[in-house]
Chains A and B, each alone.
Chain A
Amino acid sequence: MGKTFVEQILSKKSGNDVKQGQIVEVEPDLCMSHDNAGLVIKKFNEIGKKSVWKTENIFIILDHRAPSESIKTANEHKIIRDFVAEQGINNFFDIGEGICHQVIVEKLFILPGQVAIGTDSHTTSYGSISAFSTGIGATEMAAVWATGKIWLKVPESYKVIIKGDCPHGVFSKDIILYIIGELGCDGAIYKSIEFSGETVEKMTISDRFVLSNLSMEMGAKSAVTAFDRVTEEYIRERGVFAFEPIFADKDAEYEKVFEYDVSNLEPQVACPHSVDNTKPVSEMKDIKVNQVFIGSCTNGRMDDLEITAKILEGKKIAKDIRLIIGPASKEIYSSAIKEGLFDTFLQAGAVIINPGCGPCLGAHQGIIGDGEVAVTTTNRNFRGRMGSTKGYVYLVSPATAAATAITGVITDPREFL
């Protein structure tokens, strides 16, 4: 029997020939933290080691509460800035650079065949460029900063094959929400997902990012699309030519294989308060919405903003609705301005915020109140996620979100495309 992607990569990185179920120790190529680096620093200081094991593998990107929304956060950011200066950590990105996961994949701080850990659950996103990447807690990161090592159990793998032409108005967000609805929010706990099939092969890196990012919402440890021509072009376009992709063997052993045909898929909506509570948009009748947010690491890239602008062009958002748009990074922010998308957004009645995570986790820049309904392109709709525990969050694609902003009720975007 051959090896899966994770068996290959963790064998190579650990220097041992390992199979699923075994425990390995590896030195990560990338250790990413965001605002929670403040907590990592506190824990690192408790260990009592003077300096981190390697400065060049440590990245800190401030995005969760950026610019700071409170004195507490301001003080934490200060601790982080002081620490990176003192330790000589050059890979520090202050407020405004963008959402950590987007910045990492955009600037290629991780490459195919490498291993990344991050103090954020959506670290799984780097599987979109065929890296092994997974989320950990702050204490664990402090231990890695001190020792350069992390233990990982080699997970079992699921193969998810996606077939069929994606219908007009249906996007990778709809596909992955549908799959989470089928498998359940605990459907892939501890598993490594490998996406494949003709639909995935045709997807851009941005589309694949959405698959890897949201796989966390069914418990996956990592979620990758195999390195191919699309990945290669994405990387070369960014001026990087040296990398060593890792591939699963053709006869690899998968614990389960799932196959989906998306040719007849409708746009999907994940209803409160669980990501697996998905329904086709046609079943959403008269759901009045108070706030729409288009952005986040899940769906704040150029393709997302372009489809949003296409739908909003020459239109106004509904009376009594708030539309907040947050490009996922400075690079995207700048491209959107150059392409004239901001004019369309502003004329439609949107508020544009700086790149960051604020509204997605209910930190700031668009917290919802008691009884309010939010429709959002983000990744979680848990009770209280975007603010009040008496609020309701629905997850959709940017197209569905934009169409909803115009009508004021959850709307099928195909009416506008």
Chain B
Amino acid sequence: MIEKVKGRVIKLGDNIDTDVIYPGRYLPIIDAEEMGLHALEGLDPDFPSKIKKGDIIIAGKNFGCGSSREQAATCLKSAGISAVVAKSFSRIFFRNGINQGIPIVVSDEAPDRVNDGDEVEIDFSTGEIKLSEGETISFREFPDFIFSILDAGGLIPYVKNKLEVEK
């Protein structure tokens, strides 16, 4: 069970699109680890080397807008991002994130109350984000079946388990 993730905040703005998260020139790559080497490169070529394992992205509205490329979610996971919090997500990124097993949290409040480099903790059992000063913000939890996809580690293991059970 994913209960909690804790990490350093990478704070980003509004409308972080799929081309800056994962530039189109890298689309022929199919190895997930290799994708991670280019995460957010469109924002800054040095970005991938600045990401630490466990980091949590906290962004403004419309995160992941643009292309359906799921590499935008996969590269963040491979780079070590443990969760993405934003005021809103593009619908395809939302699904891609869950399907790749990255917790996606919608919060109107959190992006305005954190700074780059803060330490935060997301508690999925209580539906709360704990800020560095100890304050908490609650967020709307996922429907159960989405939680089961995350729990399985993404859609592929989820479907695999389901097909096994049906057999």
Count A/B pairs, Cβ under 8 Å: 130
Contact A139 B92 (CB under 8 A): no
B68 is an interface residue with CB less than 8 A from chain A = yes
Contact A47 B163 (CB under 8 A): yes
Contact B69 A36 (CB under 8 A): yes
Q: How far is the CB of B56 from chain A (nearest CB, A)?
A: 21
For A151, the chain B residues whose CB sits under 8 A away are 145
CA separation between A363 and B27, bound complex, in Å? 9
A121 contact from B25, B66, B162, Cβ within 8 A: B66
Q: Which of B109-117, B123-131, B133-141, B153-161 contacts A (4 or more CB under 8 A)?
A: B153-161
Contact B15 A139 (CB under 8 A): no
Contact B15 A185 (CB under 8 A): yes
Q: How far is the CB of A82 from chain B (nearest CB, A)?
A: 15
Contact B20 A120 (CB under 8 A): no
B53 is an interface residue with CB less than 8 A from chain A = no
A186 contact from B61, B92, B145, B159, Cβ within 8 A: B61
For B99, the chain A residues whose CB sits under 8 A away are 137, 139-140, 143
A142 is an interface residue with CB less than 8 A from chain B = yes
Q: How far is the CB of A70 from chain B (nearest CB, A)?
A: 6
CA separation between A207 and B92, bound complex, in Å? 25
Contact A121 B19 (CB under 8 A): no
B29 is an interface residue with CB less than 8 A from chain A = yes
Q: How far is the CB of A358 from chain B (nearest CB, A)?
A: 10
B91 is an interface residue with CB less than 8 A from chain A = yes
For B23, the chain A residues whose CB sits under 8 A away are 362, 384, 389
Query: What is the total number of residues of chain B having a CB less than 8 Å from a CB of chain A?
Result: 42
Question: Which of A73, A123, A382 has the most B CB atoms < 10 Å from its CB?
Answer: A382
A385 is an interface residue with CB less than 8 A from chain B = yes
B25 contact from A23, A42, A76, A363, Cβ within 8 A: A363
* Interface of chain A residues 29 through 43 with chain B (CB within 8 A): 35-36, 38-39, 42-43
* Interface of chain A residues 126 through 181 with chain B (CB within 8 A): 135-140, 142-143, 146-147, 151
Q: How far is the CB of A126 from chain B (nearest CB, A)?
A: 15
Q: Which residue of B lies closest to A45 (CB)?
A: B156
Contact B66 A139 (CB under 8 A): no
Q: How far is the CB of B104 from chain A (nearest CB, A)?
A: 13
CA separation between A139 and B42, bound complex, in Å? 23
Contact A384 B143 (CB under 8 A): no
For B143, the chain A residues whose CB sits under 8 A away are 23
Q: How far is the CB of B15 from chain A (nearest CB, A)?
A: 6
Q: Render B83-103 as a binary contact track against A, CB cut-off 8 A, 1 for contact.
A: 000001111100110011000
Contact B66 A382 (CB under 8 A): yes
For B42, the chain A residues whose CB sits under 8 A away are 382-384, 389
> A-side binding surface: helix, strand, loop or mixed?
loop
A190 is an interface residue with CB less than 8 A from chain B = yes
B30 is an interface residue with CB less than 8 A from chain A = yes
CA separation between A146 and B28, bound complex, in Å? 23
Contact B19 A147 (CB under 8 A): no
Contact A383 B19 (CB under 8 A): yes
CA separation between A46 and B159, bound complex, in Å? 10
CA separation between A382 and B159, bound complex, in Å? 34
For B95, the chain A residues whose CB sits under 8 A away are 136-137, 140
A139 contact from B20, B100, B145, B162, Cβ within 8 A: B100
A221 contact from B15, B62, B73, B91, Cβ within 8 A: B91
Q: How far is the CB of B32 from chain A (nearest CB, A)?
A: 10
Q: Given A139-B70, A362-B25, A382-B17, 14 other A-B contacts at CB below 8 A?
A: A46-B160, A47-B160, A47-B163, A72-B29, A123-B68, A135-B68, A137-B95, A139-B99, A143-B155, A146-B159, A185-B62, A186-B15, A363-B27, A385-B19
Q: Would you give 16 A-B contacts (Cβ < 8 Å), ordered by A?
A: A39-B70, A42-B30, A47-B156, A76-B30, A136-B68, A137-B95, A140-B95, A186-B61, A219-B65, A274-B15, A362-B23, A363-B24, A380-B19, A380-B67, A382-B20, A383-B17
